[in-house]
Structure 1
């Protein structure tokens, strides 16, 4: 199983009854796999805050509950998380934080171990899939024994690596589900919160005592010349790089077992702390007065691997343990037929600042479209555009637009739009409605009309929602008709009041799009004049052949023509954007017989 598959199995075996989350790499597959198990309710939430609050509610009702999200999602969920540390739980409550060292699919590289420290919550950190599955069961036992939410932190490598996982028995529920009858525990008025604050400190003291003897914190005997303290996937790198060395493996990275750490430190001549990203373990171990080495040799950026660890600590040894493989570069690009391409093609030709957002469409930043000027976090496109309009003054609305997807709009763009209307911003908001959460793998969301299990659900009316919050000027366009869309965008930008343009066309990777009758466009090259309008779309199905000197005329083209374009009919997804731009009848739609 992959780590994510193992975590889903572990949650089911732990008796999880309710699970809620928001898709985000590298956490997405946990919910997708858990939704296939009997006896557990699963859902995609509009955002991570909602997902965690749903899990808290289920826990208050006595059920074991799970919330899943990637590392930046914990930023969104931090408000309820910090207070849930005070309320504690009834049924066990676990939050999965899937961190992303190296930023494989993220806008930052934060280390969420810091959340466990700040929120005063225990955190477990598995190193491989088999351990991840077992730690899920341990996490729920800890949660109920200590009356606390528990964070389980994984990283991209643990989430996606494959490992052997043994199936186990499903645990029985620890409590019956019922309406809670102890409001002094779940109503955090200041007077009651002060009482629970004492409980939090008492709980962390108990947790520290448990950490000293817990099986997931263990000393592995070996050569004591150099000893290593490590956790998570870094443990595997240490074991591969220095298989004979003594190691203290921490399965609980917060709170730390101080006595065990001191015992291990005293047993080795030189102590190294091997961890990805922040010197989290290192700082806390140094605060104990223990001499050790860490970030002066181990990089504090990016993902570690066995070679990096080995060379950092023992540069005299051979650098490469494994033969490297040269892979060809594959620049990221929107799919052939992506509806977002037509929008960004138009924006690249308008003199506007494009406040972007998180999704497939962030690729609109890359050449040849080069049509995005900022991208900060989910939903920030709308509010950043609003702020810029206010800063630029009277004509500001003509210079700034925001762009975000339908799932992102529901996640955290709605409140920004409410703010823009309430505070009379003239900015234009473009909502890219492709009916799915595409970037993380085509997960359903409130706009798609289907649940996580593919069952029919209420389909959010984006146009009606925008009208309800007070937007008077709403336009719906087919982005594949590039020319008509440009006219609408220009009209919207000129308006002095808030406006919304809804770009409505489905993602080409949706099953119903793949099942269509095969059709494509092809190039009538004899009509091509080499204007390159279609090439500037950046579609991977369209290629360009340059002519050498004298070659154009010899092939029957104009003497000064630089080349011709060609459509790969296999890659073409029948969007027609190129055809809507071509003025020379060089692009024709073809239907397969």
Structure 2
């Protein structure tokens, strides 16, 4: 039986068929759907963890305990998980441990571009790279087998296009591998220097064996056609290359670390001109050049952003005139906060008060762009809290009274808690605002520790922000309705002026969250009262526009949150009266 599947869905199917028993993750585009699809298989215990480090630590425990395990995250999430990753390379595993990491070339939903292959090199663990959904499924099983054969975690590197494109996948029955015996071996798993010095030697021996495996493994495949042009490629770039030059010869790398140096040498010696066509960093190219071979790579192909058929065609076929820039002439549509978004009110007030705002990763990052323009900095998950304290350390308490940190509920649990503790411990005065919209919104409405539900929908305790704040020594905690602009302004003024740490929790569920009922009305413009001041446009609601004279509200978009009515000084916005 065959089925059309997303790459991420195929990874989940691969986990099921390979007998995986445990799956953990923190949601992050483009990897999120992997674990959401895994949750549909009752044979696999799956969970959202509070961050990627914890997800990997749970996965390591599960694998040592004897269960085949899959841990999923996006590329920047692997930064968070790097600490346990580097050490589990030394300790090894028991049952298979596959770490699924989705890179995001062109930064469609990420703050940077990273090439996860570097982590494989850094940690001395193998990296597999599928090019379509069938391979996504197959490489899960293969990766787990390699993991168990060589006593190592294995990285499965995806990318946005592979994760989110569809192709046919052949479905098979589940292989009930079962639970292996628990591997009680303190000298292997206690990462004390006396043990790890011995393990380091084994890691290097393992890498030599993996290099031999790379030479014979079937996913590193040579396809000889015309030997005038040879292309060494991997992942989604292979598909682009096949679309452009069918008659070229190809070395398709399914294992991109370690590389099959003998097979690469054979291929290069057989072709007249060889191109290395790889997305992001010139990792394969640099390895080949270190072997003494001259290949064509990043001097003609971009090192940043996604590759495409057009890019390769320009280089190989000299068809520049036939290639148009993507979306040329089309209007751009920048992302905006949804109508009725919880975050709009707090950012409007922060901008009005002219406060310095340390921002964070989530939907609310959009508060840093026009027309709200309310955020000054955004670095990484959880950084807002620590950075607010850093600003105070550098510029003093007077600056702290003019600044806040804003962070979402899920991001706070991910990595904001430790920063808040740091403020209290070091006698800081920063004000932290938790934008609690009751869900992990940006990545598609996943549950988190403050929603009361697990990944599988089971009821679970709700962790209380106020109680947490008080337990770590914050005496000033306030809860505010995110739509109540007057109260928001009053509370923010009071807390930023307090000479001690403050915690403000703004409450309103995400307007798109399923199961939430909103008793909102639809608002319209009273043309007789509107004088065209454009103040309502400053809240950045997509439902409001300006026709040159007065404001207009698109009733098809308006959800009736009432913020526009609250900011209007001329009573020009009111509830629509149904005729």
- Alignment TM-score, normalising by the size of structure 2: 0.96
Deviation at 1:496, TM superposition (A): 1.6
Bigger shift: residues 528-537 or 538-547? 528-537
- 1:265 equivalent to 2:268? Answer yes
Q: Distance in 2 between matches of 1:412 and 1:485?
A: 25
Deviation at 1:290, TM superposition (A): 1.7
Deviation at 1:238, TM superposition (A): 1.2
Give 2:407's aligned residue: 404
Give 2:139's aligned residue: 135
- 1:12 equivalent to 2:6? Answer no
Give 2:427's aligned residue: 424
Q: Distance in 1 between matches of 2:326 and 2:119?
A: 37
After superposition, what is the alpha-carbon deviation per residue over 1:326-351, rounded to whole angstroms, capped at 9, x for unaligned? Answer: 64321210000001000111111122
Give 1:331's aligned residue: 334
Give 2:459's aligned residue: 456
Counting only pairs closer than 5 Å after superposition, residues 48-67 of structure 1 correspond to structure 2 as 48-67=52-71
Q: Distance in 2 between matches of 1:4 and 1:98?
A: 9
Match of 2:108 among 84, 104, 107: 104
Q: Distance in 2 between matches of 1:97 and 1:355?
A: 28
After superposition, what is the alpha-carbon deviation per residue over 1:448-493, rounded to whole angstroms, capped at 9, x for unaligned? Answer: 1111122211111011111111111111111211122111111111
Gaps of 5+ in 2: none
Q: Distance in 2 between matches of 1:495 and 1:313?
A: 65
Counting only pairs closer than 5 Å after superposition, residues 238-249 of structure 1 correspond to structure 2 as 238-249=241-252
After superposition, what is the alpha-carbon deviation per residue over 1:73-99, rounded to whole angstroms, capped at 9, x for unaligned? Answer: 000000000111111111100001100
Gaps of 5+ in 1: 548-563
Residue pair 1:229, 1:247 contacting (<8 A) in 2 also: yes
Residue pair 1:390, 1:396 contacting (<8 A) in 2 also: no
Counting only pairs closer than 5 Å after superposition, residues 434-473 of structure 1 correspond to structure 2 as 434-473=437-476
Distance 1:261 1:571, change over 3 A: same
After superposition, what is the alpha-carbon deviation per residue over 1:366-396, rounded to whole angstroms, capped at 9, x for unaligned? Answer: 1111111100000000111111111112412
Deviation at 1:428, TM superposition (A): 0.9
Partner SS state of residue 16, structure 1: coil
Give 2:547's aligned residue: 545
Residue pair 1:297, 1:313 contacting (<8 A) in 2 also: no
- What is the aligned-residue RMSD (CA, Å)? 1.7
Distance 1:282 1:584, change over 3 A: same
Distance 1:29 1:176, change over 3 A: closer
Give 1:74's aligned residue: 78
Q: Distance in 1 between matches of 2:422 and 2:27?
A: 26
Deviation at 1:592, TM superposition (A): 6.9
Deviation at 1:544, TM superposition (A): 1.8
Deviation at 1:584, TM superposition (A): 3.3
Deviation at 1:516, TM superposition (A): 4.2
Give 2:509's aligned residue: 506
Give 1:391's aligned residue: 394
Q: Distance in 2 between matches of 1:323 and 1:495?
A: 52
Give 1:553's aligned residue: none
Q: Distance in 2 between matches of 1:222 and 1:78?
A: 41
Deviation at 1:121, TM superposition (A): 0.2
Give 2:129's aligned residue: 125
Q: Distance in 2 between matches of 1:389 and 1:62?
A: 48
Deviation at 1:287, TM superposition (A): 1.1
Give 2:573's aligned residue: 587
Match of 2:554 among 568, 583, 586: 568
After superposition, what is the alpha-carbon deviation per residue over 1:383-421, rounded to whole angstroms, capped at 9, x for unaligned? Answer: 111111111124121222111100000000000000011
Give 1:481's aligned residue: 484
Distance 1:472 1:592, change over 3 A: farther
Partner SS state of residue 81, structure 2: helix
Q: Distance in 2 between matches of 1:246 and 1:153?
A: 24
Q: Distance in 2 between matches of 1:505 and 1:591?
A: 26
Question: How many pairs does the alignment contain?
Answer: 575
Residue pair 1:421, 1:470 contacting (<8 A) in 2 also: yes
Residue pair 2:397, 2:429 contacting (<8 A) in 1 also: no
Counting only pairs closer than 5 Å after superposition, residues 273-292 of structure 1 correspond to structure 2 as 273-292=276-295
Deviation at 1:169, TM superposition (A): 2.7
Counting only pairs closer than 5 Å after superposition, residues 28-43 of structure 1 correspond to structure 2 as 28-43=32-47
